[in-house]
Each structure stands twice: as structure tokens, then as C-alpha cells.
């Protein structure tokens, strides 16, 4: 019995020391003390083993001793298996900052680091802009007119956007811009996200492009000239990066600039002769100033001894001789301004390089540093805003659309996608908001930017798929009344641009995070390259301690042993514990994958993608937890909060299972499985009761629906374009009264109290009023109510030849009619 008690004591003490990464001295002292206790308890053999373990810890754990024999051998082995980091990769790794993503990678996240950066909200000026200017701009948008009739924003809207400085949100006030915070910029784009073209037109000048590059790297002369003109719209920018053979792999751009001289106005000017062909450049057809990325060469040594100077960024006015600009691409779903750029042997002065000649060759660094911020804002905000509108549209439609004498919102098959839409919109809102808050605090989140871009645009696609399924025939028919179809088609654009999601998920999130966010991998690589044994010794043994600590933390959590409290409120505590458990598990799995696969992990993209999925879901669930921590939940929001957390944690665990099933080294995989899932899977999909609660709330005039629609365009003022969200809100406000009347009339019809030939609702209401079942006031109310319902259910039809772009090719199969049939209303 004493032996068993001693073993339990030893395991408990060592687990606690490993979890806390207590260090070699503490571990040695503990082992000696335990050996002494074992001697007293009559276990000499176990006591001897503990003393031998203490000796091993001294030999391997104390720096002065291990550096004499062990560390040099480890360093040699590390050099043989560690991946080589190219200069291009190094620049990308050094771009941006490491924040909460690094905490998750550590396996022992410090919640105070996340929760201490409290969201202080928007300034009064930002709130006023969101309420007034954004609503005015939204009210000038007719989606069908913009996408189909004119393939452009209306002229009055362009003027208004310039006048109110929508294109200058990131430009400081001293240069004539609005100087908005990242949160405000995100909020504006979310409000405008009901129309893809409008969101893109406003978002792109405020994202990666000339404005941001000038702010960070431009000369004072360049800033003084361009920034005021960009802020008020006198100049419209575009940025030429992608090319026919260079998309997600931006470093492979084949566009070249050769340093040369050219005589201009009788003077010899040093500059660059550019030959390039760019594709998919947003705003290029109307841009007045072109930002351009190209590979710069100096074969004649005019600038020095370096031939291949590297990727360089320059600003080129539209009227530059030799620049071919103005043609358009046709983006799917939303024909916003997008087109090619070309030039052959076009000369520009060196002074046109952003930052001046001394910034030649620094283009890649400039781009990746700016991308870490811009990619967190534009497309993720568009996805989040789209989610709010989709929630509002779909919830409203599901409540007014009746089948089998009941709203389809009451059918469980419809409630499932309704709840999923609401959850994704909720997660996106929290993730975008609190990541923007990090940016406002000075962070440049590189890895989170990849998470947000890839995950939230995938959410957007799924939300629109679900919304289309719920709407059915209403939205598979294109026309002015279809508020979803064009956006549904346009999601492919968000999935593709700013780093295709396939590449971002499989290469970037974990590929960059494994080195950039891991506490010790980058210091190990730097020490190896510098051949610094002491630095390597510190990094590698700190890494070993972290692995041991994560193994202990993950295993004890998997055994359901008590865990440390988090600063989260009571109902969120269980999810905070789950994050701590899975953070330790993720870090252990990451180290296990890197150790067992070495440099070949770079090529194992499916494994890398699953590791990225774990990190992505953990990041998003912590953003939801931060939102919950800082706000007072409205009625039924707790159901949405729980649904979202449980769904994200389920996805994280699923990614772990798939990773373990596919790790090539099966012995490592089995060992890791025992440590991170000792009892197997523990997460489940959200319960049906949560699904039902959420679906009912977002399809009713409820506090949760109103919360979900905060920051959207909900007005329908005189002179504004049609706003379907406002109409759904009006219908839901009246639905409780309408539902009571529906019940009376349906019951009477079932009993035969209303003629069976009264098949239309309007006919039944009239018959019910004649029978005295409802009042004349109720009849008038239901006639008005049903008229608006029918308007929202109606789809468009067109003249026979209207859809043909080339009318001369129309075939009149039954002969050309003398008069066209009237449209159905």
C-alpha cells in the first residue's frame, strides 16, 4: 500500500512541476526530497530510481554541465534536420507582431494579455459617420442597377464618397483624411457590406495599396503630394501586384524594371524601364495613380554592385507615357472596377519609387508588413457585415414564408441553417472587432490576419449557401428583387483574393505560425545560424521544458483533473478551461509534428492545414470569449454564445483527430493521442435546443435579432433605394398580431367555417371577416400585411429578349410577338 501511495505522490508532484515548467533546480530538489520520503516509507528501490533521476536532471538540466557535452550534440543534430529559412521567408516571418496568437502557441495562454486590452468602442465622430454618412451612401445603392444595368456605382454616389472622404479613412487628419481607428474602418465596411461593389470600392483604397504604403514608407514630398489627393478622391489609387503567372506566390512576379537613363527636357534622368503585365487589379480601370510592384535589376551597375535589387514598389500617374490602362475584367457576381495593367519599356524616374531610391529592393518587406494589417480588416469586415445582413434577411424570410400552414422558421430543418448562419455571423463579428482592437493598440497581427481572411470568407460562403437554401426559389431567380444572388456568386472573389484560401490555410497559418508564433523555434534557428551555443542551449532546453509542460497540462486536462481558474465569467469558465486544454494539446501536437517530420513538414500541406485549423478555431473561440467577457448579453445571446463556442471547439478537436490519424510516424501519433485524448473525443456538436432557441430569436422581433443587426443599414427613408432588411423588420414587428389572426383563420378553415374555395390567404381573411371571426380592423391589417409579404416573396421576370446581350442573336421560337407580355407583379 505504501508503494502505491508513494507512486501516486511522485506522479502528482512531478505533474505539477512539469505543468509549471519549474526548472532543473526545483525538479532536482523535488526528486531528492521524494527519494527521502520513499526511504522513510520503506521503498528503497523507488528511492534509488528517484535519486538516479535527480542525477540525470542535473547532468541534462543545469546549463553549466549540459553545455559541455549535450548541447553541442543537439546543435549538430538540429543543423542537420532544421528547415532552411530563405531571405524571402525571413522577411515574411519578421513582418508584423506576435500577440495572443503566440500565447495560444505556447500551450499556456496568459488570459490577462487578451482581456486587459479592453475595447473602448468608437469615438463620437466615428459613430456619427457610421450613422449618417454610411446610411446616406447605403441609401444611394441599387444592387441590380450597380451590378447589371451600369456595372458601376452611380455618379452621385461616387461624388458623395469623395466628398465625405470615404477613401481617406486611414489617412491622418493632417493630410486631409478622416484618421479613423481600425475598429471604425471595419465598422464602416461592415455597414456597406450589403453591396459587394460598394464595400470593395471603399475598402480597397483603405487597405493594401498606395495610401498605406505612403503612410509607412513614403518620402515627405510623396506624402504631401498624394495623401491629400487620395483622401478627398481627387486621386483614385490601385495597386498592381498579381500577374498571369503570379497570384498567391507574389514573390514570383515576372514584371521587371531595368535601371537606365533617359533624356527628359534636355536632362539625363536616372530611372527604371518597366515591362509588366498585371491582372485582376481592383480600381485600375478608373485609377489616376498606380502603385506597382516589380523586380528591379541594375545590369549596368548604375546604382552599385548589386544586379538583382529585388522587389520594388513605385507610384505611377495614369497619364505616364506607355501605360496601358482602362480595360476591365468581369468579376463574378459583382462587376466592381477591376482590370489589367500593361507596359513595355515604360520609363519612370527613380524618385517615383515609394520612399525614394533608397527603398529600392524593399518592396517585399513593405508589402508583407502592410498586409498584416490590411488583410485583417477589408475582407474579414466584408464577411462579418455580410453575415449580419444574411442573418437579417434569412431570419425575416423564414418567419413570413409559410408552408404547411406554419412559418418555415418553426421547422427544425430550416432552424439548423438559421442557427448556423447566426453563429458564424456572431463569431465573425467578435473576431473582427477584437482583432481590430489589437491593431488600434499597436499590434500588427500577421498570423491572425491569415486566420481572419481564410476562415471568415469561408464562413461568408457557407452563410450564403445556407441562406440560399432557406430562401429557395426566391433567390435562385436573379433580378432587382433578389438581394442574395449576386452576393452569393461574388463570394468566390473574397475566397480568392489577398491570398487564396487554399494556400492560406495549407501553407501560411501554421507554416508562418510554427516559426513566428512558437516561443522557441525562431530563437533556435537564429542561434543555429549565428553558431551561438549559449543562445541555442537556452532556446532548446526552454523548448524541451515547454513540451514537457504541455504534455503534463494536456494529459491532466484530458483526465478531467482540476484546472486553474481563468478570469472569465462563470458561464464562460468551462470554455476557458477547454481553450487551455486544447492550447496545450495543439502546442504538443505542433512540436510532435515538427520533431517527427522535420523540414519535410513544409511539404505535408494537409497536416499543416489541420494544425492551422486547430489554431484558427482556438483563436476565434477566444475572440468570442473576449466579447462575452466585455458585454452584457441580451436575451437568448447566451444560447448563441454557447452554440458558437461548442461548435468551434468541436471543429478544433476534429482537426486534432484528423491530424493524429494521418501523422506518418504511428508510434508518435499513438503517444500523442494518449496524452491529448486519454479518453478519446470529448466535444459534441451544439445541442438541438440551442439551435431552436437561436433560430426562433433571429427570425422574430427579438433583442437578439436587434443585437445581431447592430451596425447595419436598416432605414428606409424617403428617396432612398429599396431596403429589404427594413421591410423584414417592419413585418416582424407586426408578426405577433398577424400570427394570432393566422391561427384563428387557419383553424376556421380546417373546421369548414370558411369556404374551401378560399385558397388564397386574402380570400380567407375576407371570408373570416364576413363570418365575424375577425374584425374589420384585423381584415384591413392583414390585407396590408399580406401585400407586403407577397412583395417580399415575389421574383422578377423579363421580356423574352431582355437577357440577351446581343439582341440580334435572339431566336423567336414561336414568332416575334406584336406586344410583349406585361411583367408579373
Query: Which positions are catalytic?
Result: 498
| Helix or strand holding residue 445 (H, E) | none
CA 560 from chain center: how many Å? 32
d(CA 10, CA 779): 80
Q: Are 615 and 586 in contact (CB under 8 A)?
A: yes
Nearest C-alpha neighbor of 682 from the set 519, 554, 499: 554
CA 762 from chain center: how many Å? 46
Angle between helix axes 196-203 and 182-191 (nearest 10 degrees) is 160
Contacts of 40 (CB under 8 A, 6+ apart): none
| Helix or strand holding residue 289 (H, E) | strand 289-297
What is the rounded (10 degree) CA torsion for 430, 605, 462, 488?
Answer: 110
Three-state secondary structure along 216-259? HHCCHHHHHHHHHHHHCCCCCEEEECCECCECCCHHHCCCEEEE
d(CA 452, CA 703): 27
d(CA 586, CA 656): 8
Q: Are 354 and 291 in contact (CB under 8 A)?
A: yes
Could you tell me the three cell numbers for 148?
A: 447589371
Residue with grid cell 495562454, as numbered in its chain: 109
Residue 806, CB-side half-sphere exposure with 13 Å CA sphere: 2
Alpha helices in 599-636 (DSSP H): 605-630
Q: Is the dihedral of CA 239, 331, 396, 684 positive or negative?
A: negative
Q: Are 343 and 281 in contact (CB under 8 A)?
A: no
E-strand stretches of 100-140? none
**Could you say which DSSP state residue 97 is in?**
B
Q: Are 516 and 522 in contact (CB under 8 A)?
A: yes
Could you tell me the three cell numbers for 208?
A: 493594401
State the chain's maximal CA–CA distance in angstroms: 110
CA distances from 195 to 12, 18, 392 (A): 59, 53, 15
The three-state secondary structure class of 559 is coil
The three-state secondary structure class of 23 is coil
Strand-pair partners of 444: none
Contacts 24+ apart (CB under 8 A), 791-795: 791/727, 792/396, 792/397, 792/400, 792/724, 792/727, 792/728, 792/731, 793/400, 793/401, 793/474, 794/481, 794/824, 794/825, 795/473, 795/474, 795/477, 795/479, 795/481, 795/482
Q: Are 535 and 588 in contact (CB under 8 A)?
A: no
Q: Are 641 and 690 in contact (CB under 8 A)?
A: no
Q: Is the dihedral of CA 408, 411, 416, 422 positive or negative?
A: positive
In whole angstroms, how large is the CA radius of gyration of the chain? 31
Phi, psi of 235 (to 5 degrees): -110, 135
CA 194 from chain center: how many Å? 17
Q: Are 61 and 28 in contact (CB under 8 A)?
A: yes
Amino acid at each position: 500500500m505504501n508503494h502505491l501511495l508513494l507512486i501516486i505522490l511522485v506522479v502528482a508532484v512531478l505533474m505539477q512541476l512539469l505543468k509549471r515548467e519549474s526548472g532543473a533546480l526545483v525538479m532536482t530538489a523535488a526528486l531528492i526530497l521524494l527519494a527521502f520520503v520513499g526511504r522513510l516509507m520503506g521503498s528503497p528501490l523507488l528511492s534509488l530510481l528517484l535519486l538516479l533521476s535527480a542525477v540525470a536532471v542535473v547532468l541534462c538540466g543545469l546549463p553549466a554541465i549540459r553545455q559541455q557535452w549535450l548541447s553541442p550534440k543537439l546543435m549538430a543534430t538540429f543543423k542537420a534536420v532544421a528547415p532552411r529559412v530563405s531571405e524571402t521567408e525571413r522577411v515574411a516571418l519578421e513582418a508584423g507582431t506576435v500577440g495572443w496568437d503566440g500565447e495560444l502557441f505556447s500551450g499556456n495562454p496568459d488570459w490577462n494579455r487578451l482581456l486587459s486590452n479592453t475595447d473602448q468602442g468608437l469615438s463620437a465622430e466615428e459613430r456619427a459617420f457610421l450613422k449618417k454618412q454610411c446610411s446616406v451612401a447605403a441609401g444611394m445603392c441599387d444592387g441590380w442597377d450597380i451590378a447589371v444595368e451600369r456595372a458601376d456605382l452611380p455618379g452621385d454616389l461616387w461624388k458623395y464618397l469623395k466628398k465625405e472622404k470615404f477613401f481617406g479613412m486611414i489617412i491622418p487628419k493632417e493630410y486631409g483624411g478622416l484618421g479613423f481607428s481600425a475598429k471604425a474602418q471595419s465598422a464602416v465596411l461592415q455597414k456597406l457590406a450589403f453591396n459587394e461593389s460598394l464595400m470593395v470600392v471603399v475598402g480597397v483604397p483603405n487597405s493594401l495599396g498606395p495610401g498605406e504604403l505612403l503612410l509607412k514608407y513614403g518620402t515627405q514630398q510623396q506624402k504631401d503630394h498624394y495623401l491629400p489627393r487620395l483622401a478627398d478622391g481627387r486621386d483614385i489609387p490601385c495597386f498592381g501586384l498579381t500577374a498571369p503567372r503570379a497570384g498567391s506566390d507574389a514573390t514570383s512576379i515576372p514584371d521587371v524594371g531595368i535601371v537606365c537613363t533617359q533624356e527628359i527636357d534636355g536632362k539625363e534622368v536616372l530611372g527604371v524601364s518597366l515591362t509588366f503585365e498585371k491582372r485582376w487589379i481592383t480600381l485600375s480601370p478608373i485609377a489616376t495613380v498606380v502603385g506597382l510592384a516589380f523586380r528591379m535589376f541594375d545590369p549596368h551597375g548604375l546604382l552599385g554592385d548589386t544586379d538583382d535589387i529585388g522587389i520594388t514598389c513605385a507610384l505611377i500617374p495614369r497619364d505616364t507615357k506607355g501605360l496601358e490602362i482602362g480595360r476591365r475584367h468581369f468579376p463574378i457576381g459583382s462587376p466592381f472596377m477591376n482590370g489589367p495593367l500593361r507596359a513595355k519599356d515604360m520609363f519612370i524616374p527613380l524618385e517615383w519609387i515609394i520612399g525614394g531610391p533608397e527603398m529600392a529592393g524593399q518592396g517585399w518587406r513593405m508589402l508583407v508588413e502592410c498586409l498584416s494589417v490590411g488583410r485583417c480588416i477589408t475582407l474579414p469586415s466584408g464577411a462579418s457585415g455580410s453575415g449580419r445582413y444574411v442573418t437579417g434577411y434569412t431570419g425575416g424570410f423564414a418567419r413570413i414564408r409559410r408552408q404547411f400552414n406554419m412559418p418555415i422558421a418553426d421547422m427544425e430543418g430550416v432552424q439548423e441553417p438559421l442557427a448556423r448562419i447566426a453563429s458564424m455571423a456572431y463569431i465573425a463579428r467578435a473576431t473582427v472587432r477584437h482583432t481590430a482592437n489589437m491593431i488600434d493598440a499597436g499590434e500588427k497581427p500577421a498570423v491572425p490576419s491569415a486566420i481572419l481572411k481564410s476562415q471568415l470568407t469561408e464562413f461568408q460562403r457557407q452563410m450564403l449557401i445556407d441562406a440560399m437554401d432557406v430562401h429557395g426559389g426566391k433567390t435562385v431567380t436573379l433580378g432587382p428583387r433578389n438581394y442574395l444572388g449576386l452576393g452569393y456568386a461574388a463570394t468566390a472573389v473574397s475566397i480568392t483574393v489577398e491570398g487564396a484560401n487554399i494556400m492560406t490555410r495549407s501553407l501560411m497559418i501554421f507554416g508562418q505560425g510554427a516559426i513566428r508564433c512558437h516561443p522557441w523555434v525562431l530563437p533556435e534557428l537564429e542561434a543555429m545560424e549565428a553558431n551561438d551555443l549559449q543562445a541555442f542551449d537556452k532556446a532548446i532546453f526552454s523548448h524541451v521544458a515547454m513540451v514537457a509542460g504541455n504534455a503534463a497540462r494536456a494529459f491532466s486536462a484530458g483526465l478531467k483533473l482540476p484546472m486553474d481558474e481563468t478570469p472569465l465569467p462563470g458561464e464562460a469558465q468551462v470554455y476557458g478551461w477547454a481553450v487551455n486544454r486544447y492550447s496545450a494539446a495543439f502546442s504538443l501536437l505542433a512540436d510532435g509534428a515538427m520533431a517527427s517530420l522535420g523540414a519535410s513538414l513544409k511539404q505535408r500541406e494537409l497536416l499543416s492545414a489541420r494544425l492551422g485549423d486547430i489554431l484558427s478555431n482556438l483563436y476565434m473561440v477566444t475572440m468570442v470569449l473576449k466579447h462575452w467577457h466585455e458585454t452584457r448579453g441580451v436575451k437568448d445571446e447566451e444560447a448563441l454564445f454557447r452554440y458558437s463556442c461548442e461548435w468551434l471547439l468541436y471543429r478544433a478537436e476534429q482537426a486534432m483527430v484528423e491530424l493524429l490519424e494521418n501523422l506518418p510516424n504511428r508510434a508518435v501519433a499513438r503517444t500523442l493521442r494518449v496524452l491529448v485524448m486519454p479518453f478519446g473525443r470529448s466535444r459534441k456538436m451544439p445541442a438541438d435546443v440551442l439551435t431552436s432557441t437561436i433560430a426562433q430569436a433571429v427570425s422574430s422581433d427579438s433583442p437578439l435579432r436587434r443585437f445581431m443587426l447592430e451596425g447595419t443599414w436598416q432605414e428606409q427613408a424617403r428617396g432612398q433605394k429599396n431596403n429589404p432588411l427594413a421591410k423584414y423588420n417592419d413585418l416582424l414587428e407586426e408578426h405577433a398580431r398577424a400570427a394570432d389572426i393566422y391561427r384563428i383563420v387557419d383553424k376556421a378553415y380546417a373546421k369548414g367555417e370558411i369556404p374551401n374555395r378560399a385558397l388564397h390567404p386574402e380570400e380567407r381573411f375576407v371570408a373570416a371577416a364576413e363570418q365575424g371571426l375577425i374584425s374589420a380592423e384585423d381584415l384591413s391589417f392583414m390585407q396590408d400585411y399580406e401585400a407586403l409579404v407577397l412583395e417580399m416573396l415575389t421574383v422578377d421576370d423579363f421580356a423574352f429578349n431582355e437577357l440577351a446581350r446581343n439582341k440580334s442573336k435572339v431566336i423567336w421560337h414561336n414568332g416575334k410577338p406584336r406586344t410583349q407580355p406585361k411583367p408579373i407583379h
